[in-house]
Amino acid sequence: MAHVRADPVRGVPGGRPVEIACDESGSDGENLTSGNTDVFAHASVRLPVEFAAHSVQVIRDRIRSPAEEYKANHLLREKHRAVLEWLLDTDGPLYGHAHVHLTEKPFFVVDRMVDLLVGETGTTAVTLYREGRNAFGDERWRAFLESSNRLLRVRDNGEAGAPVDAFFHMVGALSWAYSDDRSGNGLGDILAALLAARSRADAYRARIAETPAMYPVLNPLLPAIVRTAAHWSGGGRPVSLVHDRQNMLTEERIAWLKETARLAGLRLVAARSDPRVQLADFLAGIARKIASDERGGRGDARLTTLLRPYVDPYSVWGDDRSWAVLGPVPEVATGRRTW
């Protein structure tokens, strides 16, 4: 592929904010356990507009699809494999200038639930997630994940106390079934701690009923943006984000993000209007598919290897087998949260 490789990113003189273009893939709102995808990916790119536009045109010239707007699925087709590998490889336009934050959705649910009820952000969620499925069986594990998801989600069309009742009924059943286990994996103690936290769950649901949540605890977009800002602001550089339009990013939440992530700015654009955001869109969709395949045991070793340099070591990921090949620094990143 004809492409002149040069370093398109230079220092920002005078301390002006560096502008980062972002997009996501895999958003299912607050439905993280039975949605269309099991992985959420947030990608960010630091490139000049002209360089990004040239890169998008190179992709269009190689793929030659009549579609007005290209998406990641164009690149993921087997007949365009060479274009996909070029985009991610060391001689492509993104290498060294892009970043991907991954969220494994089922683990995110467990992590958020444990944080709410137990207030422990260390190994408890990781232990519950990694040991629970084998200990409880697939059917009970799925039911537990779904009850956890319903407990945390802001919108629920049932009776006010139904999510709490359903969750603690599920935990009680698991605790009873697991009461005689002597494996020493800590699950019994975790279940006991959850059962003792009914008052915290009731208080959480009461807060949701009283006021609309400005920050839905189950939506992975906001923490991913916070982590993205932290990545690009290394060394104290001021960062401004250009993000694809999202209903989630209301004026109130943008204000919260600016304060929390110390952003110099955050503006929303249509992806088609900014080639940098288009490249971020490509990368997010590609990363989501590669990571999901790896998580499901269908991984492509070559593509996983190509993606690995882009992956944030502080991604929200609980599955140790897939993270061993996706994560750049497994001993640091395993089970870590990003905020």
Residue 337, class by beta-carbon neighbours within 10 Å (0-12 exposed, 13-18 middle, 19+ buried)?
middle
Is the pTM higher than 0.85? yes
Written as tens digits, the pLDDT of the chain (339 aa) is 333 333 344 444 447 899 999 999 999 888 999 888 999 999 999 999 999 999 999 999 999 888 778 899 999 999 999 999 999 999 999 999 999 999 999 999 999 999 999 987 678 999 999 999 889 999 999 999 999 999 999 876 667 689 999 999 999 999 987 766 656 678 999 999 999 999 999 999 988 888 766 668 899 999 999 999 999 998 789 999 999 999 999 999 999 999 999 999 999 999 889 999 999 999 999 999 999 999 999 999 999 999 999 999 999 999 999 999 999 754 444 343 332
Lookup: tokens for 120: 């422990």
Nearest-angstrom CA–CA distance, 189 and 111: 16
Pair 154, 215: CB distance under 8 Å: no
Predicted local confidence at residue 216, as pLDDT: 82
Residue 278, class by beta-carbon neighbours within 10 Å (0-12 exposed, 13-18 middle, 19+ buried)?
buried
142's enclosing H/E stretch is helix 138-152
Predicted local confidence at residue 243, as pLDDT: 98
Predicted local confidence at residue 185, as pLDDT: 73
